[in-house]
């Protein structure tokens, strides 16, 4: 498996049919996901690891981690429809390649997840419609893992660096992306627009 083929596989996953306004649901691009996962893989943060995909959506991060030989993945989402979608997507991938893994799907609020894991990989809400949702996701990730990969708006960099430091974590901005967002919610005006985001790697000091 290489990054290109990982991206191709992830691009075949089903995406949201009816994203929910209040949950700020948007689909993570397959190429961006593959790039982040490949970074984590090369840092020895995936193979043989227990991983939590918090706010899993269609399961793209967790499924990608399993493709790269994660030992176990927890898929967690508050939206029951997303859990069903992630399950279906994992079944689809299992038909294409052989996987040796353990997966657990949890339909709960992220604040209820208390299980210790090796790594959290997440693309949380930006906190635009629900203030501080991004902080809540990051705080919960800090509670359960020593290594976290998380996507946030670039404009939040100062807050993220300060919050991680106060929480006892070192933060490193791995790379930046122009995240494509399609017109899927009623307040979207353009057919597609791009948001400047970055992926941070956090590790416990």
Dist. CA 7–CA 4, nearest whole Å = 5
**In the chain, what are the domain boundaries?**
3-152
Per-residue pLDDT, 149: 98
Q: Supply the pLDDT for residue 128.
A: 55
Q: Would you state the structure tokens that stand for residue 75, as one six-digit string?
A: 């898929």
CATH classification for the domain delimited by 3-152, as one of 3.30.300.30, 3.40.50.150, 3.90.79.10, 3.40.50.300: 3.40.50.150
By the 10 Å C-beta count (0-12 exposed, 13-18 middle, 19+ buried), 159 is classed as middle
Q: Give pLDDT < 50 ranges for the chain.
A: 23, 186-188
How many Å apart are CA 162 and CA 154, to the nearest integer?
14
According to the model, what pLDDT value does residue 19 have? 54
Going by C-beta distance under 8 Å and a sequence separation of 6 or more, which residues neighbour residue 30?
A: 7, 8, 10, 11, 13, 60
pTM above 0.85, yes or no: yes
For residue 134, what pLDDT is reported?
84
pLDDT at 27: 74
Look at residue 125 in the predicted model and tell me its pLDDT: 83
Do 175 and 199 contact (CB within 8 A), yes or no? yes
Query: Could you tell me which residues come within 8 angstroms of residue 91 by beta carbon, excluding any fewer than 6 positions away?
Result: none
Is 24 within 8 Å of 129 (Cβ atoms)? Answer: yes
| Beta-bridge partners for 18 | none
């Amino acid at each position: 498996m290489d990054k290109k083929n990982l991206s191709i596989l992830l691009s075949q996953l089903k995406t949201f049919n009816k994203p929910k306004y209040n949950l700020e649901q948007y689909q993570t691009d397959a190429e961006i996901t593959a790039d982040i996962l490949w970074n984590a893989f090369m840092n020895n943060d995936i193979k043989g690891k227990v991983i939590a995909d918090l706010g899993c959506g269609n399961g793209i991060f967790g499924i990608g981690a399993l493709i790269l030989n994660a030992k176990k993945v927890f898929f967690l989402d508050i939206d029951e429809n997303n859990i069903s979608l992630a399950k279906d997507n994992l079944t689809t991938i299992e038909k294409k390649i052989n996987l040796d893994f353990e997966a657990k799907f949890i339909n709960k609020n992220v604040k209820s997840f208390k299980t210790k894991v090796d790594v959290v990989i997440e693309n949380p809400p930006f906190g635009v419609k629900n203030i501080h949702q991004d902080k809540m996701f990051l705080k919960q990730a800090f509670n359960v893992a020593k290594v976290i990969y998380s996507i946030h708006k670039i404009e939040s960099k100062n807050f993220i660096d300060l919050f991680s430091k106060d929480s006892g974590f070192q933060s490193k901005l791995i790379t930046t992306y122009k995240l494509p967002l399609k017109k899927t919610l009623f307040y979207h005006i353009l057919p597609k627009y791009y948001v400047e985001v970055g992926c941070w790697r956090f590790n416990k000091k």
